[in-house]
């Protein structure tokens, strides 16, 4: 079951890379996207950090669900403008990302629960119950996502703008 919880992470990475390097680099990003995309990424980072800094509990779970719902709603904010800037295939990539985002956040919540639970929850086999591995994986995801957000800010708001102005 642990493998199933990791599938949304792989889908997210592949689709974000595809969206970024096929569509965004091809069409460029208007100012509202150069600002909005890092905000979307920050909302996801907030969810990742929450599960790493707070112990799982019923009240903490409610806060996590609130953050996850906000993140899910926030990532759709640009679609009203995307209809004027994106081709149909890019809309399809966004649809996949929108479907995957809540699955990813559910996986994070289940991994958070798994790390905090004793004995092992039903969805982890005994061989997969390695809290250190899950913790390191989540820390790696947080670091990778933070680096991606820094790329979004630096490349699109400084480097790309310099290229565009030439």
pLDDT tens digit sequence for 59-102: 999 999 999 999 999 999 988 888 788 899 999 999 999 999 99
Per-residue pLDDT at 152: 97
Q: Residues in the chain, how many?
A: 166
Average pLDDT, integer, range 15-29: 94
Task: Read off the pLDDT of each residue in 94-115 and give the average, rounded to a whole number.
Answer: 96
Using left for φ > 0, alpha for ψ between -120 and 50, and beta otherwise, residue 28 falls in: left
Query: Is 37 a residue whose pLDDT tops 70?
Result: yes
- pLDDT given for residue 122 in this prediction: 67
Give the Cβ contact number of residue 165 at 10 Å: 6
For residue 63, the number of C-alpha atoms closer than 13 Å in the C-beta half-sphere is: 14
Domain ranges of the chain: 2-16+34-159
Among 41-55, 96-110, 127-141, which is the least confidently predicted range? 127-141
Alpha-carbon dihedral 38, 23, 71, 42, rounded to 10 degrees: -20
Tokens read off for 100: 């995957």
DSSP 127: G
pLDDT of 22 above 90: yes
Average pLDDT over residues 35-43: 97
Do residues 54 and 60 touch, judged by C-beta distance below 8 A?
yes
Cα(71)–Cα(58) distance, integer angstroms: 20
Confidence of residue 3 (pLDDT cuts 50, 70, 90): confident
Name the residue among 3, 23, 25, 21 with its Cα closest to residue 13: 21
User: Mean pLDDT lowest for which of 8-22, 30-44, 91-105, 116-130?
Assistant: 116-130
Q: What is the pLDDT of residues 115-164, one digit of tens each?
A: 888 776 766 666 555 788 899 999 999 999 999 999 999 999 999 867 76
- Enumerate residues 6+ apart whose C-beta is below 8 A from 101: 12, 44, 71, 72, 75
pLDDT at 166 over 70: no
Q: How many CB atoms lie within 10 A of CB 42?
A: 16
């Amino acid at each position: 079951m642990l493998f199933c919880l990791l599938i949304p992470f792989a889908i997210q990475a592949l689709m974000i890379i595809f969206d970024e390097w096929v569509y965004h680099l091809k069409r460029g990003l208007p100012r509202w996207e150069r600002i909005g995309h890092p905000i979307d990424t920050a909302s996801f980072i907030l969810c990742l950090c929450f599960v790493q800094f707070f112990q799982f509990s019923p009240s903490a779970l409610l806060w996590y669900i609130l953050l996850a719902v906000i993140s899910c709603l926030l990532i759709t904010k640009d679609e009203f403008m995307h209809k004027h800037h994106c081709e149909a295939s890019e809309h399809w990539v966004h649809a996949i990302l929108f479907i995957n985002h809540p699955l990813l956040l559910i996986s994070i919540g289940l991994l958070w629960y798994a790390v905090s639970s004793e004995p092992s929850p039903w969805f982890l086999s005994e061989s997969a119950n390695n809290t250190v591995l899950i913790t390191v994986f989540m820390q790696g995801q947080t670091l990778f996502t933070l680096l991606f957000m820094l790329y979004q800010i630096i490349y699109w708001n400084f480097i790309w703008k310099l290229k565009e102005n030439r």
